[in-house]
Structure 1
């Protein structure tokens, strides 16, 4: 699009700016709701506190963009590039981020309830205290992601590779970890009430102080896992000298 077309879009006269170049632009607090910005270049743009409600950003380049406090509820950002984007405190309710690249993105405290993150790349993303309840994470890559204090209640994480991920102090009530790989993961202090770990690999995981009341640990591999001070499925608190016994019974 021409420079004139871009300015016309920014004036609010039209809602479409497909493939336009808005890289590095100051668009903070801009009203861009329902805009069509598919394949647009927004690299490094300042969109803090902007409204992108129901906007279409399919395959848009938002790498390094600043979006703290922005409203991206119901946005369509399939396959968008959000590498190293700042999305702290951003509203992403029911956002479609399927296949999006969110590697190294800052999503601290972001609200991602009911969002679609299928096949998304969240490698190294900071999701501390993010709300991911009812989000769809099937096929997502979470390698090196920070999920401390995140809300993942009733999340479906069946069969996922969650090796070494830090979930400390997260809420994961009734989360399904069936067959998941949690080797070396940190689940210390996590509320895992009613969680399902059937067939999960918990070798070397840290579950110190976790609440495992009513959790299912059948056929789980727990060699080397730490359960000190954890509340076990039967409601009893694990004691250091009984850890090995708890591990053996949990894996049966």
Structure 2
């Protein structure tokens, strides 16, 4: 009977651990809002929509599934950040540094990425419909659905 109870509790414990691991660290969210500096922070799932984060330093930050819809991230340093499945619809990422960032499955519809540096970024499954990519650096970037995006060379449109 004890073994049975233990076997039932293991999946529950694993599930709870996964839930808390994927949640944003509240201290990190407060730090970001106050200082605009949070390199390597855990901001996964954080609600950051419409925040003014111009020139924020988020290098290597975990923004998995973060809600950044309409956020002002102009000139932000997001190099090597985990932005998998993040909601970046209508975000202003003009001149943002996104080199080697993981944007797989991210929603960037209508985002302003003019002059952004996306070199070496992982873009598989990312959606760019209506996004402005004029002058964006995409060398070495892999994947991405650029159908309906503005400002791309013909060879990049799919």
User: Normalising to structure 2: TM-score of the pair?
Assistant: 0.74
| CA displacement 1:19-59 (0-9 Å, x = unmatched) | xxxxxxxxxxxxxxxxxxxxxxxxxxxx74x5xxxxxxxxx
Q: Is 2:149 the counterpart of 1:195?
A: yes
1:11 corresponds in structure 2 to none
Q: Is 2:115 the counterpart of 1:159?
A: yes
2:47 corresponds in structure 1 to 91
Q: Is 2:100 the counterpart of 1:144?
A: yes
* Partner Cα separation in structure 1 for residue 52 and residue 71 of structure 2: 6
Larger RCO: 1 or 2 (CA < 8 Å, sep 6+): 2
Structure 1's unaligned 5+ residue stretches are 1-46, 51-61, 201-216, 226-230, 233-252
1:114 corresponds in structure 2 to 70
User: Normalising to structure 1: TM-score of the pair?
Assistant: 0.48
Structure 2's unaligned 5+ residue stretches are 1-23
Cα gap change, 1:78 to 1:177, in 2 (>3 Å): farther
* Partner Cα separation in structure 2 for residue 112 and residue 155 of structure 1: 11
Cα gap change, 1:92 to 1:147, in 2 (>3 Å): same
Q: Number of paired residues?
A: 136
Q: Is 2:64 the counterpart of 1:101?
A: no
- The RMSD of aligned alpha carbons is 2.7
| CA displacement 1:97-130 (0-9 Å, x = unmatched) | 1122111110000000111111211111100000
Greater gyration radius: 1
Q: Could you tell me whether the CA contact under 8 Å between 2:101 and 2:120 is conserved in 1?
A: no
* Partner Cα separation in structure 1 for residue 67 and residue 146 of structure 2: 21
Cα gap change, 1:83 to 1:105, in 2 (>3 Å): same
Write 1 or 2 for the structure with the bigger share of helix.
2
Q: Could you tell me whether the CA contact under 8 Å between 2:76 and 2:97 is conserved in 1?
A: yes
